[in-house]
Amino acid sequence: MADAVSWKIGEGVMVVTIDNPPVNALDHAVRQGLLAALEAARPPEVRAIVITGAGPVFSIGEEITKAATADQVPSLGEVLDRIETCGKQVVAALNGQALGGGLELALACHTRIALAEARIGFPEVKLGLLPGAGGTQRTPRLCGAAEALKLMLDGAPIDAVTAMAMGLLDGVVEEDLLDRAVILAGMLIGEGKPPRPTRDRREGFRDPQTYAAAIAAARAVERDDRLPAPERIIACVEAAILLPFEAGIAYERAAAEDLQTSDAAAGLRHAALAEARAARIPEAGATPRPVGHAGVIGGGLMGAGIAVALLGAGLRVTLVEADEAALARGLSRIDDLHERAVARGKLSEESREGEWARLAGATAIEALRAADIAIEAVPEDEALKAGVFRDLDRVLRPGAILATNTSYLDVDDLARVTSRPADVVGLHFFSPVQAMPLIEVVVGAQTAPDVVATGFELARQLRKFAVRAGVCDGFIGNRILTAYRSAADFMLEDGATPAAIDRVMRDFGFPLGPYQVADMAGLDISWARRQRLAESRDPAARYVAIGDRLCEAGRFGRKTGAGYYRYGEGSRMGAEDPAVIRIIEAERAAKGIVARSFGYDEIRDRCLYAMVNEGAKILSEGIALRPSDIDLVMLMGNGYPRLRGGPMKTADVIGLLPIRNKLRDWATQEPFWTPAPLLDEMIKEGRHFDDMNAD
């Protein structure tokens, strides 16, 4: 891009503007442009340089999708060294966000001022990386180890006022940023002092003991040892005070290169790209319908959580329940969720009162006549939900959206009971709503494009990620979860224990194993679904009834104190229970199964390969648009470890051929393991799942 960097000279000051929309990424063209600007500033009449960004962003550094250009000469580190040592006074004027390499650019300048709304930060740790263009060396020179480490290890941006208090900025202005920066540059020229490069600053090193204590404190924090970036960041910040600047830069560069090629960084980068891709849907060009008033039918845990999320997005909400007693319970749940948010500092009392003022309760569906969208969240019963949709079809105004929060039911079947199937969509929230950042937008056969677009826009307003899904039993997340659980259940019946399977999957990176999750969710919920599907179940397919037997014994999970584990008073982590082992052994005996042992690797592989195989089926059926959408659902909705990138990314890392071959071996004993035809096709064509993501 020839005009990615432009400059103007006036009264001895060169103003350099980075114009590389949408985020002023420091790609190869920009780096070359900055060097060209420095060359143009060589004449003695140019005595100072101001660097700023066009538009609302200063720079976010290198875009993830263009990271390969970071290897092209000149590197960002080389450009920043040239800026810092150019012999001219260089002022950074931060007109907006300065993240990652953008902040490193600002730190390489000699003076920094920013608009008050600007935010700065180092998000690299979230990608398994570290600031690799001098950030770990320049930052602590200005603010010390404690503040530098917090900025880099948290990965969250801070506001300009906070940054100035830390010593990272020299001024914050409300307006006229560029004029103020030029004036400041003129003042620096007038003082006649030589530039003071950040590499020569020592403010952050004034108290070596405090610096060392901050390093030790950071190392003492318990972290996932599979994430290498935090330890490398700490080591680089320690090197800043121990080594000369050039040696510290070399140390940082080596650490950055190691992280760049790590499996964790690859997985985390893939996850970040999956988030960006998910919004690329066929309906993206449609105009969302306006939504200001939402109805929620059902005040249970899901309904109350959805209502609170809608209130938090500024919408008016009407909660509808069957009778006054149920409505009172629903409103009480909403109040409890508000109270917890206030206690955690997530919600102010003033905001709580404002949200409560926008909430209404009703026992008649007619209260939703003026609603723009109605989301049913009643129990997972097809007849009950169909009845709600008939009522909504009768009551809602033309153009209002009828949404279902069903986890498994056929959205098209629900649409067929209405006279307006184009207005029907699935909005599958994950539980607990207040904690889970995902919504599956389930698109029926006749769902209108603007209804789909509205689902994505609503998710954005709720600060959640949306993934487009087609109609099938369980959509994306729960369908893969079902395959995962089936693989685990087969091993359970064949000789493994719940604790052994859970331990392996926690070690892989899941926060909880499948049986811990089942106990937390409540075994009766999945039991009810199995009962609903009993008549349509293939009689030849293997069915594991251990979960049914636990429910028949009144063991519904944590809420009853017993499920796959036993829970003491107030306990959230269950203990192994001999009674469960006896139930499992009885089921084996009834089927004539002789228990065998399962090794650590086999437990892991069977669980993972079941997810991959089901994902391949979902792709071939068009239920998901791309593999990374499946990964995103599993990451955001089902606890798949983010550093692994998701099951389809994991499959690419392992290799599709060994996965397919192992599935074939297992399928000789159990048809469940029959490889999806898509795997054979991809292997023949030499493709990976990532090839289907098509950035």
Amino acid letter for position 153: L
Tokens 């790609």 found at: 27
Q: Give just the sign of the alpha carbon dihedral 302, 308, 314, 319.
A: positive
Measured in Å, how far apart are the chain's first and last C-alpha atoms? 20
Query: To which residue do tokens 């920094």 refer?
Result: 112
Number of H helices, E strands in the chain: 27, 18
d(CA 238, CA 452): 50
Asked if 637 and 477 touch (Cβ cutoff 8 Å), the reply is yes
What are φ and ψ of residue 627, in 5° steps?
-60, -40
Q: Is 670 a catalytic residue?
A: no
560 vs 581: CA distance, rounded Å: 18
Which residues partner with 92 through β-bridges?
Answer: 51, 112
Per-state percent for the chain, helix, strand, coil, to nearest 5: 55, 10, 35
The per-residue b/e assignment along 586-616, b for 16 or more CB within 10 angstroms, e otherwise, is ebbeeeeeeeeebeeeebbbbbbbbbbbbbb
CA 137 to chain CA centroid, nearest Å: 29
CB 210 within 8 A of CB 144: yes
Q: SS3 sequence, 585-635?
A: HHHHHHHCCCCCCCCHHHHHHHHHHHHHHHHHHHHHCCCCCCHHHHHHHHH
Q: Which H or E run includes 258?
A: helix 245-260
From 62, 63, 84, 104, active-site residue: 104
Nearest-5° angle of CA 124, CA 130, CA 132? 115
Q: How many alpha carbons fall within 13 Å on the CB side of residue 602?
A: 12
Burial class (CB in 10 A: 0-12, 13-18, 19+), 538: exposed
Can you tell me which residue has the tokens 């985390």?
A: 268
Return the DSSP state at 284.
Answer: T
The residues, ordered by sequence, that sit 6+ positions from 535 with a Cβ below 8 Å of its Cβ are: none
585 tagged catalytic = no
Q: Which of 124, 238, 493, 614 is catalytic?
A: 124
Quote the CA–CA distance of 203 and 543 in Å, as a whole number: 68
| Residue-wise DSSP of 482-510 | HHHHHHHHHHHHHT--HHHHHHHHHHHT-
C-alpha pair distances (Å), 560 with each of 161, 336, 567: 50, 21, 8
554: amino acid identity, one letter: G
Which phi and psi angles does 63 have, rounded to 5°? -70, 145
- Alpha-carbon distance of 132 to 259, in angstroms, equals 10
Q: Cis link prior to 22 (omega < 30° from 0)?
A: yes
Least Cα distance to 216 among 145, 167, 154 occurs for 145
Per the CB < 8 A criterion, the answer to whether 99 and 157 are in contact is yes
Residues 6+ apart with CB under 8 A from 444: 411, 412, 415, 421, 424, 425, 426, 471
Over the Cα atoms of the chain, what is R_g?
29
* The two three-digit tokens of residue 141, written as one number: 């020179």
What residues are labeled active site?
Answer: 104, 124
